[in-house]
């Protein structure tokens, strides 16, 4: 073969190689690295661990939020129940004839842990303690405490009401305050 034929064949081969190279899809260097077995193993384990941790964290937050909402609801119901008991104690300060239910028994709703709670969860816990715990709860939508705090201050939850005082009975100003708090609390009977 002469030199011109060799040169022509060489140029054709170079041209074919260029055409083949231009038709071949371009591989991105990043994809080449990401498709390596080591990188796939590393990304798979990190990604799987990360997603599992994220899922567990979300489940824990939802569980805690559900428990918090349940506790808030239970406390609100217990406070409403005890407010109604306090209202009944103030409206009827004298023992009911023949019931054996004395004034001292009815005083339990003010500060004693002896009262019968709405739920067993609050058995042996005073109204003051429930209100304090309710105020301390974080991250839950709660009712306004101001009217209730004012009422409890007026009642003196740690002291016993004196049935001889003029602020007890069916037409007392204290009873009107209690009724207003019950209505604002949303547990009116």
How do the domains of the chain map onto residue ranges? 67-185
Q: What is the biggest distance separating any 2 CA atoms in the chain, rounded to whole angstroms?
A: 135
**Quick one: pLDDT band at residue 99, thresholds 50, 70, 90?**
very low
Three-state SS string across 133-174, please? HHHHCCCCCCCCCHHHHHHHHHHCCCCCCCCCCCCCCCCCHH
Q: Is the pTM of this model over 0.85?
A: no
Answer yes or no: is pLDDT of 55 > 60. Answer: yes
The answer to whether residues 125 and 157 touch, using CB atoms and an 8 Å cutoff, is: no
The answer to whether residues 182 and 80 touch, using CB atoms and an 8 Å cutoff, is: yes
What is residue 101's predicted lDDT score, i.e. its pLDDT? 41
Question: What's the CA gap between 131 and 181, in Å, rounded?
Answer: 14
Question: What's the CA gap between 114 and 57, in Å, rounded?
Answer: 40
Whole-number average pLDDT of the chain: 76
Higher pLDDT, 92 or 30: 30
Kindly state the percentage of the chain with pLDDT values over 90: 14
What is residue 115's predicted lDDT score, i.e. its pLDDT? 61
């Amino acid at each position: 073969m002469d030199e011109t034929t060799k040169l022509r064949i060489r140029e054709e081969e170079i041209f074919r190689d260029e055409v083949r190279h231009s038709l071949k899809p371009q591989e991105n260097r990043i994809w080449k690295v990401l498709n390596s077995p080591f990188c796939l193993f590393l990304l798979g384990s990190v990604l799987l661990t990360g997603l599992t941790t994220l899922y567990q964290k979300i489940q824990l937050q939802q569980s805690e939020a559900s428990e918090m909402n349940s506790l808030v609801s239970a406390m609100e119901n217990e406070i409403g129940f005890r407010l109604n008991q306090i209202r009944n104690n103030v409206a009827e300060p004298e023992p009911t004839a023949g019931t054996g239910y004395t004034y001292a028994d009815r005083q339990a709703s003010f500060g004693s842990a002896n009262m019968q709670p709405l739920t067993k969860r609050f058995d042996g816990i005073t109204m003051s303690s429930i209100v304090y715990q309710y105020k301390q709860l974080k991250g839950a939508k709660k009712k306004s405490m101001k009217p209730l705090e004012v009422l409890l201050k007026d009642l003196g939850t740690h002291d016993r009401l004196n049935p001889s005082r003029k602020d007890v009975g069916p037409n007392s100003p204290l009873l009107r305050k209690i009724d207003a708090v019950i209505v604002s609390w949303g547990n009116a009977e």
